[in-house]
Amino acid sequence: MDKPKPNFDFKLMSFGYKFRDFFLPRMNTLKEAGIKPGFHVLDYGCGPGSYIIPLVELAGKSGKIYALDIHPLAIQRVQSIASKKQLRNVKTICSDCKTGLPDNSVDVVLLYDTFHVLNDPNGVLKELHRVLKTNGFLSFSDHHMKENEILSKVTNGGLFKLSRKGKRTYSFLKYE
C-alpha cells in the first residue's frame, strides 16, 4: 500500500464508513465471498475494521480472521473491536505487503477498495497467492477501478483466474 493516511484523514474516513455500513451492511458484500464456519480469512487493507464482526459471524469460533493494514490506527481500531467483543480468533498484522502467514494457510482473502493505492500490486498478489490454500478464493472489489482493469490486473500475472462475478465483488480462484 501507499504510505499510511495522516491520522486526521484516517479518522475522517472511519467516520464516513459508519454511515456507509449503516446503509450498506458489510454482511451483504461478504455473503458473495462464500465464507463458511472454520474458514481462515485475511482482510487485506482492513481499515477501521468494518468487516471484522460479520467475518467472525461467518467463520465462527473455529475460524480465524487476520486483519492487515499499513496504518497503525487501523490496527488499533481492530484490536479495540476484538477486545470489546472478546473475539479471540482475530489477529492483526501491521504491514504494507508481507503477511507473515504460512504458505497455503488462508481460505479466503478480501481485497476491498485497496488495490488502487498499492505501491506494489504484483508483489501483493504474489503474497496473497502464497498464503491462499489450494482452491482458495480472492474476493475483490475496488470501486476506483473499471471491470476490464480489475480483470486484467488480477489475472495477467497468471496467479488467479476469474471464478465468478457477483453483484458487489469478483471472486478469483488461485491458480496452482
Instruction: State the 10-residue block means of pLDDT for the chain, 176 residues long.
Output: 59 53 67 95 94 95 97 94 96 95 98 93 97 97 94 96 95 92
How far apart CA 54 and CA 99 sit, in angstroms, is: 22
Element (H, E) at 160: strand 160-165
**Domain annotation covers residue 24:** no
Which has the closest alpha carbon to 62: 40, 93, 82? 40
Where residue 47 sits, what CATH number does that domain have? 3.40.50.150
Which has the closest alpha carbon to 142: 107, 110, 173? 110
For residue 145, give the C-alpha cell.
477501478
Q: What is the pLDDT at residue 155? A: 97
**Domain annotation covers residue 23:** no
Phi, psi of 152 (to 5 degrees): -70, -45
Q: How many separate domains does the chain show?
A: 1
**Domain annotation covers residue 26:** no
Q: Which domain holds residue 74?
A: 7-17+38-174
| Alpha helices (runs of H) in 87-134, residue ranges in sequence order | 121-131
Q: What is the pLDDT at residue 27? A: 76
Which has the closest alpha carbon to 136: 68, 40, 55, 64? 40
Q: What is the pLDDT at residue 176? A: 79
Q: What is the pLDDT at residue 6? A: 64
Residues contacting 9, CB < 8 A, separation 6+: none
pTM (predicted TM-score): 0.88
Q: What is the pLDDT at residue 28? A: 82
